[in-house]
Amino acid sequence: MKVVLNWGASLPPEPFAGEEGEALQDRIRCVWARLLLAEGTLPSGEETREAEVSVSFVDPNSMAELNRTYRQVEGPTDVLSFPLWEEEGRFCPPPWEVLPLGDVVICPDQVQPQEGGGSKERQMLLVLHHGFLHLLGWDHDTPQKEQDMWELQERMVSDTLEGNFASWAHS
């Protein structure tokens, strides 16, 4: 499966820019493709050969406006996702060969390394993978769902940084 990252109208910031950023983007696409190919991610019988994700980077004012408009929450946040194929909290894509998944919007100014959480690069990957999981219907509205999502996104970050593309299992 091929995963296409569309960077929206803005150029990607560090760590996604430049030669090293291109290599990082390749690893992101590999991790996402492995997750999409994992049993249970796409409905059985799907003939999807390509998935597309649009990623935009915005300033804090733009993110605050999006957050207020779509979540009725004041102020900026680090990442918002706008899935195309979610029905009642479930990922329900059509059987298309080329499948647009939705949009992930990141405010780099709001992405700060957490205490003991590693570098800015790691946090940028974390919010990007977090946004991607929301496109696939993942949520963190219960303690168990939160734990499952946090574990998977941490695994995705580690595998992206380490270039580990072993088989994936969807839980």
For residue 84, report the phi and psi dihedrals to the nearest 5 degrees: -90, -25
Q: Residue 21 is which amino acid?
A: G
DSSP 113: P
Kindly list the strands in the beta sheet with 79-83, ordered across the sheet, starting from the edge strand earlier in the chain.
Answer: 2-6, 50-57, 98-106, 79-83
For residue 94, report the phi and psi dihedrals to the nearest 5 degrees: -80, 165
- Residue 152 exposure: Cα atoms within 13 Å on the Cβ side: 26
Q: Return the H-helix or E-strand segment holding 122.
A: helix 120-135
Are the beta carbons of 4 and 50 closer than 8 angstroms?
A: yes
* 83 token code pair: 């899935």
140 annotated ligand binder: yes
Scan for tokens 């734990």, then name that residue.
147
129 annotated ligand binder: no
Instruction: Point out the annotated binding site for Zn(2+).
Output: 130, 134, 140
Could you tell me which residues are annotated as the binding site?
130, 134, 140
